[in-house]
Structure 1
Amino acid sequence: MTAMPDAACAGKRPCVALLSSVLDMSYLAPAFREAMPAVDLRLGADLGALDEIDAAVCWYPPPGVMARMPRLRLVQSLGAGIDHFHTDPDLPRAPVLCRIVDSDMAGTMAAYVTWAVIHRQRAMGAYLASAGAAHWQEQPIVPPGRHCVGIAGLGTLGVACAQALLAIGYRVRGWRRSAKHDLPAGIESFHGPDALDDFLSGCNTLVCLLPLTPQTHGFLNGPLFRRLPHGAHLINVGRGSHLVETDLLRALDDGTLGAATLDAFAHEPLPPGHPFWRHPRITVTPHVAARTEAIAIARQTRDNLATLDRGARPAMAVDPALGY
């Protein structure tokens, strides 16, 4: 449905709330004031009059707050996904939901995934331990062409990672739920549930970049790990809820998997007592594989509000039923 402009909004100072139950959103404030000099910016515990707020910029929003914003026209995700909105069961249906599309994110994600693949495949962890002990110790060298990286999720980010890995000699295969016919040369392509076994059977490293939907929740589980080559490396840069944590720990402990590099978690920040921190075969990073600059978030929020003011639907609007 095409959004209609609100006559009361014409010439009105835009009112934007920054909402998160896990992040200090104040880091966004300078960027919003730069991109939207007239903005009425609300953040923190006291949001003022909720009936004045036009847009909410969110990452794991506190539940129930947006349901009390009758003028809310735009709900802007802080990232490329909208799955974090599940923390608010009372999310109103009327506002348009938009994701972030960041042209720099593909390069940032490709750099992280390439690092994670090389770090494990070239035994960099062992070299760091040897260096710490002042011990000159070589590790076996396996050429990239003998190591296959499988990427589950061949959207913009997945394709960028595949191209980066291909450029340095790795074999790359990809899987997605539906066929994609415009993939770059060199990516061995699989699609659909019937092809998943064949895809997994050749992955020395598996990278998860799937969107989080009801169908992909818990995708990374014990039965899937057992369909990979023994001792494979798992890299999760999708969402924490893709992973069944107890299954991962079991698979690492019994050797089904050789290592895991994790950047996304079901509960963030990852609690200090979580076993992932101490497991010798797990590398934890704090959701930094790809992060959009604050100014890009502010500008996209501004532009999406302007599009709504014109009575149009923003190009970055998502279908909540699909999850992307």
Structure 2
Amino acid sequence: MPRILFAATEDDWHDYRHCLPRALQEKGIQAELVPVHEGMDPALVDYIVYAPAGPLQDFSPYTKARAVLSLWAGVEKIVGNASLTQPLCRMVDHGLERGMVEWVLGHVMAHHLGIGFFAAHQDGVWRNGHAAPLASDRKVTVLGLGALGQACAKMLAQVGFNVIGWSRSPKEIERITCLSGDAGLKEALIEAEMLVTLLPQTPQTTNLLDAAHLGLLPEGAVILNPGRGTVLVDEALLAALDAGEIGHAVLDVFRVEPLPATHPFWAHPRVTVTPHIAAATRPETASRVIAENIASAEAGQPLLHLVDRTRGY
């Protein structure tokens, strides 16, 4: 019987304490599942279900643990932990993916159709010259073609947008113009009437969208960032917005969270702030991912969604 330590907050435990045992049972796994605040002998733990917001930071006592299974899609808060020698798996969850796709599609469509413009001009003037182009005439660039980036890019292409995708390594995706490398990044930005950033947080992506790269975007471009707050240089974005070079920015992630009440993003007329809600982990679907991974390991099969420590994701 595997012993599983639920190393997250007590609020998380409240959300998972029924659905995680149910998901394990559905996979035929009889397990001892204990929340970290109740305690379990580290030497007995086989699997650690982990959230960075929880109390566990030192993994060295867990010498028997076969894997650390993160509840978060991002692993930047744990991947550099020197005490973590166990295999680390990130969360790849259908519910999380669908939430991200819906957030991206909703905000892209709102700006594509000019909903904000018409909402701000309810003044009796008939502006029928402001009809949006067809989606096929609008270029949308998606930076990052991991699981979430690909899902969003495919949905945007399905709606009809002209989608360009960029990733560090070359990819081929049907109906998506895939670019890579430094030259590909420049081309992807130059074409981006709308830019969606879904890059992981790595040394290579931190501060990637600085003044120079933002300056490549077409005048009036719209930026959507539901990926990582560190990708954008805040000061450079604010300067580009003030100059009218960037038309609008919809931001869901930030360098400091919660976003401080005094941060200029809150009051800027060309910024929409959403409070890190684009891709929430949903306990029901996430529990099934955790159970599937444990079932795979217990059957002697490879772990799913294993993190490459050298790449940081």
The answer for the alignment partner of 1:101 in structure 2 is: 92
Letter in 2 for 1:108: G
The answer for the alignment partner of 2:228 in structure 1 is: 239
Equivalent-residue separation in structure 2 for 1:314 and 1:264 (angstroms): 29
Alignment size in residue pairs: 305
Of 204, 215, 218, the match for 1:215:
204
The answer for the alignment partner of 2:142 in structure 1 is: 151
| Paired residues for 1:169-208 under 5 Å | 169-181=160-172, 183-185=173-175, 187-208=176-197
**Which shows bigger deviation, 111-120 or 265-274?**
265-274
Of 141, 164, 169, the match for 2:131:
141
The answer for the alignment partner of 1:5 in structure 2 is: none
Flag the 1:75–1:254 CA change in 2: closer, same or farther, 3 A. same
| Paired residues for 1:217-296 under 5 Å | 217-296=206-285
Letter in 1 for 2:174: P
Equivalent-residue separation in structure 2 for 1:268 and 1:67 (angstroms): 28
| Structure-2-length-normalised TM-score | 0.85
| Structure-1-length-normalised TM-score | 0.82
* Superimposed CA distance per residue, residues 287-307 of structure 1 (whole angstroms, 9 cap, x where no aligned partner): 222234212222322332333
Letter in 2 for 1:192: G
Letter in 1 for 2:59: M
Equivalent-residue separation in structure 1 for 2:56 and 2:81 (angstroms): 7
Q: Does 1:80 align with 2:70?
A: no
Residues 47 and 65 in structure 2, CA contact (< 8 A), matched pair in contact too: yes
Q: CA deviation at 1:206?
A: 0.7
Residues 66 and 72 in structure 1, CA contact (< 8 A), matched pair in contact too: no
SS where residue 249 of structure 2 aligns?
strand
The answer for the alignment partner of 2:47 in structure 1 is: 55
Equivalent-residue separation in structure 1 for 2:51 and 2:215 (angstroms): 34
Letter in 2 for 1:146: D
Q: CA deviation at 1:196?
A: 1.8
Equivalent-residue separation in structure 1 for 2:158 and 2:51 (angstroms): 34
Equivalent-residue separation in structure 1 for 2:13 and 2:257 (angstroms): 15
Residues 194 and 222 in structure 2, CA contact (< 8 A), matched pair in contact too: yes
Residues 7 and 56 in structure 2, CA contact (< 8 A), matched pair in contact too: no
| Consecutive unaligned residues in structure 1, runs of 5 or more | 1-10
The answer for the alignment partner of 1:89 in structure 2 is: 81
The answer for the alignment partner of 2:297 in structure 1 is: 308
SS where residue 84 of structure 1 aligns?
coil
Flag the 1:288–1:117 CA change in 2: closer, same or farther, 3 A. same
* Superimposed CA distance per residue, residues 182-213 of structure 1 (whole angstroms, 9 cap, x where no aligned partner): x113x223221122222211111111112222
| Consecutive unaligned residues in structure 2, runs of 5 or more | 26-30
Residues 199 and 205 in structure 2, CA contact (< 8 A), matched pair in contact too: yes
* Superimposed CA distance per residue, residues 245-266 of structure 1 (whole angstroms, 9 cap, x where no aligned partner): 2222222122221111112223
Equivalent-residue separation in structure 2 for 1:300 and 1:159 (angstroms): 19
SS where residue 110 of structure 1 aligns?
helix
Q: Does 1:126 align with 2:117?
A: yes
Question: Identity over aligned residues, as a percent?
Answer: 33
